[in-house]
Amino acid sequence: MKSITGMTQHYFGWRALLALTAASLVLSACGGGSGSAPAPLSEAVPDPLSGLPETPGCMLLDRRSFLADQFRTEYFYNDLTPLVDPAPEQGLRAYFAASLFKGNERIPADRFSGYQTSEAYSQFYGEGKTLAYGLAVAGQEVQGRPDLPLFVRDVTPGSPAAVSGLQRGDRIHRLNDTPVEDAIAKFDFSMLTPQQAGQELVLEVERAGVRRTVGVTASVHDVVPVRLGRVINLPDGRRMGLVRFNSMITLAEPDLQAYFQQFRDQGVTELVFDLRYNGGGSVAVGGRVASMAAGNKVDGQVYAVLRNNAALQASNATYRFSSPVAWAGVKRVYVLTGLRTCSASEQMIAGLQGVGIDVVLVGSTTCGKPVGFRPREHCGLTYSLVNFDSVNARGEGGYYSGFAATCRVAEDFTKALEDPGEPLSAAAIGHARGQGCPAASGPDQQPLWASKLRSLPVSGHAQRDGPEWPGLMVP
């Protein structure tokens, strides 16, 4: 663990799970980072079932029957969704789509449930590996605006994209044979998701007015979820701790705990969580990270309650704050947010608010995913159906529209995320210095399912503009 005097970085390579299908981004009870999640149904996305053999007990009817039982007994929306008969011959993808909750006046349609191969699921969570290029673009920020430039927003250190010399702020003009204007107009960034190691992505990029062609070859690389930890000295002598991490998985905890011990030892009184690209992860991990921030004054108080469907209320689970780091914590937490701040990350915001911590959100509205999964494995596939919703100590939940930013600040993709002058970081620092919010900048970005495009059929691969899968929350 490096000292955080100055700027210390811990990078990670993201594992984007392959052959994902189903209804959209996933929220599982493992509340953290850009975890991989099943994608929306689309004929453009390979069906995980296509590579699995049919064997006794694992025929197509067996798979549909297993799913029917899950939708009948454990699905959170089971009382709002008619059970679809599994007997008529139909593909698994079609049966899954037909079984999903279609929404009502209070709750949007289920775009989170999905399924994938068990091998792909376990590779991320069991091995800490990801198959990806390691390249993320600011595609969602320019959706519907092909006249705007498309920038690289993040490059996973140690990934193929990093080895190829790509960096945040590079402007992209072409993705393989596709002009970037066409990719934006169609909102199709499927070429950023490799199907196998060795697959090549060719980009035309511009930096400082110079264009060049760059080839990137997909590979499996390690997940290193914590990106940055540092202490910032404020003019009045106070100290602010800043941590940036993109996934709430167990692998993140040792570095985060070491950072918080240094925050305690260096007298930090203000805290910034940079969760703009943190799509979720483990509820338990999120609770422990929140406990590091809130300190021992909230020991034993409720962090989150996971509520099942009406028939399974006896199995509801309560998570409480603990003391992974012995210190008093802080009274105010800044969270840098965006449309990719999702699921377990949003749960952490709600959990801190529930015990009276002042949470100041800087950036834009979060993704809006107050539900999660208990994944079930059957015949080589892992199904992530929405099994529960989450409320905080005050019973607050249902944030399907996301959390609105206290200070609405647009990202500047030409600024390095490690630069304290980067707009979101600078706004949090200025607010802590008593300067209030800067003038609102940029449109308040909404996730695709909350936008005017929400009724369009969207491919999960097309919807992704990077190696992250926002929307994971699992117990």
pLDDT tens digits, 455-469: 333 333 445 788 776
Confidence of residue 157 (pLDDT cuts 50, 70, 90): confident
Q: pLDDT at position 218, please?
A: 96
Task: Output the pLDDT for position 49.
Answer: 73
Residues 370-384 have a mean pLDDT of: 94
Q: With 0-12 CB in 10 A as exposed, 13-18 as middle and 19+ as buried, what is 39?
A: buried
For 88, the 3-state DSSP assignment is coil
Percent residues over pLDDT 70 in the chain: 84
Give the pLDDT confidence of 195-220 residue by residue, as tens digits. Answer: 899 999 999 999 999 999 999 999 99
Write the CB contacts of 310 (distance below 8 Å, at least 6 apart in sequence).
79
Q: What is the overall mean pLDDT for the chain?
A: 85
Average pLDDT score over residue span 429-436? 96
Percent of the chain with pLDDT over 90: 69
At residue 125, the pLDDT reads 63
Q: Given pLDDT bands bounded at 50, 70 and 90, which one contains residue 175?
A: very high
Using an 8 Å Cβ cutoff, are 222 and 12 in contact? yes
How far apart are alpha carbons 88 and 66 in whole angstroms?
14
pLDDT number for residue 43: 37
Mean pLDDT over residues 425-454, rounded?
Answer: 81
Give the mean model confidence (pLDDT) for residues 347-353.
98
- Taking the model in full, what pTM does it have? 0.87
8 A C-beta contact, residue 111 and residue 40: yes
* CA geometry: angle 292, 295, 300, nearest 5 deg: 100
**Which tokens belong to 266?**
């260096």
The residue-averaged pLDDT of 394-404 equals 96
Strand partners, 320: 302
- pLDDT greater at residue 470 or residue 437: 437
**Token pair of 209 as six digits:** 């007015």
pLDDT band per the 50, 70, 90 thresholds, residue 304 = very high
- pLDDT at position 123: 67
pLDDT of amino acid 457: 31
What is the helix (H) or strand (E) element at residue 243, kind and residue range? Answer: strand 239-245
Give 45's contacts (C-beta < 8 A, 6+ positions apart).
19, 20, 21, 39, 459, 460, 461
pLDDT tens figures, 246-283: 989 888 999 999 999 999 999 999 999 999 999 999 99
Tens digits of residue pLDDT in 50-99: 668 889 999 999 999 999 999 999 999 999 999 999 999 999 999 999 99
| Residues 205, 310: Cα–Cα separation, whole Å | 53
Kindly state the average pLDDT of the residues 158-173: 96
Q: What is the pLDDT of residue 83?
A: 95
φ, ψ dihedrals at 180, nearest 5° = -65, -30
Residue 442 pLDDT > 50, yes or no?
A: yes
For the chain, count helices (H), then strands (E).
Answer: 10, 25
Listing from the earlier edge strand, what are the strands of the sheet with 407-408? 7-9, 226-233, 239-245, 268-274, 332-337, 358-363, 407-408
User: What's the pLDDT score for residue 463?
Assistant: 54
Beta-carbon contacts of 117 under 8 Å, excluding residues fewer than 6 positions away, are: 18, 19, 48, 51, 52, 380, 381, 382
The answer to whether 339 and 447 have CB atoms below 8 angstroms apart is: yes
Q: Contact at 8 Å (CB) between 17 and 48?
A: no
pLDDT band at residue 448 under the 50/70/90 scheme:
low
Provide the 10 A C-beta neighbour count for residue 344.
38
Question: Which residues of the chain are in CATH 3.90.226.10 domains?
Answer: 1-128+224-475
Q: Which residues contact 194 (CB under 8 A, 6 or more apart)?
A: 131, 132, 133, 201, 218
Gap between the Cα atoms of 25 and 30, Å rounded: 14
Lowest mean pLDDT among 147-161, 182-196, 426-440, 451-465: 451-465
Chain segment 245-255, per-residue pLDDT in tens: 998 988 899 99
Hey, what are 344's tokens? Answer: 């377990």
CATH code, residues 133-222: 2.30.42.10
What's the pLDDT score for residue 122?
Answer: 77
What is the number of other CB atoms lying within 10 angstroms of the CB of residue 93? 19
For residue 8, what pLDDT is reported? 28
CB neighbourhood size of 220 (10 A): 13
Residue 7: is it exposed, middle or buried by C-beta count within 10 angstroms (0-12/13-18/19+)?
Answer: middle
| pLDDT at residue number 160 | 96
CATH domain 1-128+224-475 topology: 2-enoyl-CoA Hydratase; Chain A, domain 1 (3.90.226)
Burial of 410 (0-12, 13-18, 19+ CB in 10 A): middle
Whether residue 359 contacts residue 348, with contact meaning beta carbons closer than 8 Å, is answered with no
- pLDDT score of 50: 66
Question: Mutual orientation of helices 253-265 and 283-294 as an angle, nearest 10°?
Answer: 10
